[in-house]
Amino acid sequence: MELYFPAQKESGKVKQQYLKLKQRALLMLEQITGKEVEQTQIDTLDGQLLSSTAPQQFWGPNGVEAKTVVSFEDVCIAMQQHVTKDPKIMTVLEFFRTLEAVKKKAQERKK
């Protein structure tokens, strides 16, 4: 992630979540391959992962889904003012690299 998106610095909390998710995935893989894994280890990681983020409403006008769609559309509109390619047909890498370039230009203009 950091290789392609160096400006997207992850917080310590996010890094801890990824670490726990990786540990859980490794335990699940061991279990699939026939190695004995204590279910309590998986359950503990599940509990930690689930309790690390506050629950949010997904549906409705103030839900996460609606806010995400609106935010994406706003970013696309802003990007279209600076690039000729439609952001909606860009690859993920193109989209985020373009977004970083637009942000960098905006910061340079402020100086």
In angstroms, the Cα distances linking 25 to 3, 38, 84 are 23, 14, 41
* Domain-embedded: residue 102: yes
* Domain-embedded: residue 74: yes
Share of the chain above pLDDT 90, in %: 43
* Domain-embedded: residue 3: no
* Domain-embedded: residue 79: yes
Residue 3 pLDDT > 60: no
Tokens encoding 57: 């409403």
Tokens encoding 41: 């280890």
In angstroms, the Cα distances linking 41 to 14, 29, 32, 90 are 20, 13, 15, 41
Q: State the DSSP code for 111.
A: -
Segments forming the whole domain that contains residue 37? 9-54
Closest of 99, 105, 12 to residue 20, by C-alpha: 12
Q: What is the pLDDT of residues 41-95, one digit of tens each?
A: 999 999 999 888 787 888 888 888 888 899 999 999 989 998 999 999 999 999 9
